[in-house]
Amino acid sequence: MRSLYNISLYSMLLLGMIAVELSETVNAQQTPRKLVPAGSYHSVLPEVVGEPVQVDSFYMDETVVTNEQYVKFLEEHPEWRRSEIPPVFTNDGYLREWDSDLNPGYENLGMNRPVTRVSWFAANAYCAAQGGRLPTLNEWEYSAQLLEFANEAEANKFSSKLISWYSGIDVNNLPEVGSTQIETTAGVKDQFGLIMEWVDDFKPIIADELSLDCGTVGRMQTLGSVYSYAASIRYITRMSFNAKITTGMVGFRCAFDQPAPASQNTQVETL
């Protein structure tokens, strides 16, 4: 059976051991987390089982991880610095634009701008250090659809802007986090208009059968919604990645499971 991410078994085992170690520490500078309520959404992927897709409630970072926050992570976990990270976890573009291991060059990149050129492995490690994980594809997409528009015309206008943005993300002049003025009803910011983001299962099983071209996008499900065509572009772009890739257009945020109700956490001793 083919691997979901084309990642070797050795890589996964090693990442798992590192994640266990990282989960014992929590970065002091946490991003505020927003509760995304349970619900459902329609996926643009063809032949999705169980449509509409049901998503349990979870927490997600209000904004994406910044350069400053990532520096603090590297200070606590030197094994993920540019000069130390094992090649199995990234390519040679990892944090390529930084001045040094712990200096992004804030005069150019900015403290409060999203960290990019981070591999899927490194993003996973960061989230593990916060006691979290990368959001699943369904969690991210469901959250992104929790937007409100005054009318259909406003929704279509937003959709057109999304398509233009995906066609030309300016990786050399990324805005600060929280600056897009795009916020979901759950309070999650910048899922559009800033950068693309890693998700845990970024490469579904059908990914190897798809390529980023107009014909493929046209064959994906169009739901007549604000998200259909733009979402298709987003899905297929992510599918073209591999776990070691680093690019200036991709950053990440973390997700967290909602704690179980107190009644489920309580163990009653039998007298």
CATH of the domain at 213: 3.90.1580.10
Residue 68 lies in a domain: yes
pLDDT tens per residue across span 45-92: 765 656 789 999 999 999 999 999 999 999 999 999 999 999 999 999
Residue 15 lies in a domain: yes
Q: Per-residue pLDDT for 141 more than 80?
A: yes
Residue 134 lies in a domain: yes
CB 195 within 8 A of CB 182: no
Quickly count helices (H) and strands (E) in the chain.
9, 7
Residue 147 lies in a domain: yes
Provide the percentage of residues in the chain whose pLDDT is more than 70: 74
For 33, the domain range is: 9-260
Residue 2 lies in a domain: no
Dihedral pair phi/psi, residue 41, rounded to 5°: -150, 165
End-to-end CA separation in angstroms for the chain:
49
Least confident of 34-43, 77-86, 215-224: 215-224
Q: Give yes or no for a cis peptide into 37 (omega within 30° of 0).
A: no
Structural domain count of the chain: 1
Q: From the CA atom positions of the chain, what is the Rg in Å? A: 19
Q: Indicate the SS3 state at residue 141.
A: helix
pLDDT tens per residue across span 145-157: 999 988 888 888 8
The pLDDT value recorded for residue 38 is 97
Least confident of 10-14, 39-43, 119-123, 141-145: 10-14
The pLDDT value recorded for residue 31 is 83
Residue 268 lies in a domain: no
Measure Cα distances from 249 to 32, 90, 146, 167, 268 in Å.
Answer: 23, 16, 23, 11, 50
Residue 16 lies in a domain: yes
Average pLDDT, the chain: 81
Place of tokens 């992510």: 238
Residue 1 lies in a domain: no
Model pTM greater than 0.85? no
Pairing between β-strand 196-197 and β-strand 58-61 as defined by DSSP bridges: unpaired
The pLDDT value recorded for residue 43 is 81
Q: Per-residue pLDDT for 11 more than 80?
A: no
